[in-house]
Amino acid sequence: MPKKTIILGVTGSIAAVKAENLAKRLKEIGRVIVVITEAAKEFVAPEGLAKASGNRVVTSLFEKYRKERETVEHISLAEEADLLLIAPATANTISKLANGIADDMLSTLVLATKAPILIAPAMNTNMWETPIIQENVAKLKARGYRFIGPAFGRLASGRMGKGRLAPLGRIVKESERILKEKKDLIKKRILITAGPTQEPLDPVRFISNRSSGRMGYALARAALSRGGGVTLISGPTQLLPPSGAEVINAQTAKEMRREVLRNFKKADVFISCAAVADYRPKKREKKKIKGERNFTLELERNPDILKEVSRKKGKRILVGFALETENLIKNAKAKLREKNLDLIVANPYSQAGRETNIVKIIDKKGRIQNLPRLPKKEVARRILDRIARMLK
Which residue, 150, 179, 208, sits at the end of a domain? 179
Beta strands (DSSP E) in 137-187 are 146-147, 151-154, 160-164
Q: Is residue 374 part of a domain?
A: yes
Instruction: Considering the candidates 55, 92, 126, 209, report the single residue annotated as catalytic.
Output: 209
Which residue, 156, 179, 202, sits at the end of a domain? 179
The reported pLDDT for the residue numbered 166 is: 96
The reported pLDDT for the residue numbered 2 is: 60
Beta-bridge partner residues of 193: 233, 272
Q: Is residue 20 part of a domain?
A: yes
Distance between CA atoms of residues 213 and 235, nearest Å: 8
Same domain, 43 and 167: yes
Give every CB contact of residue 232 below 8 A, 6+ residues apart in sequence.
Answer: 192, 193, 194, 216, 217, 220, 241, 242, 245, 246, 247, 248
Same domain, 166 and 195: no
Distance between CA atoms of residues 65 and 68, nearest Å: 5
Q: Is residue 184 part of a domain?
A: no
CATH number for position 349: 3.40.50.10300
Domain span at residue 241? 189-391
Per the annotation, the verdict on 209 as an active-site residue is yes
Same domain, 99 and 227: no
CATH number for position 43: 3.40.50.1950
Beta strands 368-370; 360-363: pairing state: antiparallel
Distance between CA atoms of residues 34 and 55, nearest Å: 8
* CB 119, CB 142: distance < 8 Å: no
Specify the DSSP class assigned to residue 288. Answer: P
Q: How many domains does the chain have?
A: 2
The reported pLDDT for the residue numbered 122 is: 96
Q: Give the residue ranges of the chain where pLDDT is below 50.
A: 65, 69
The reported pLDDT for the residue numbered 293 is: 74
Q: Please give the helix or strand (H or E) that residue 391 lies within, else none.
A: helix 376-391
Task: Quote the percentage of the chain above a pLDDT of 90.
Answer: 78
Count of CB atoms situated within 10 Å of the CB of 327: 10
Same domain, 155 and 209: no
The reported pLDDT for the residue numbered 348 is: 83
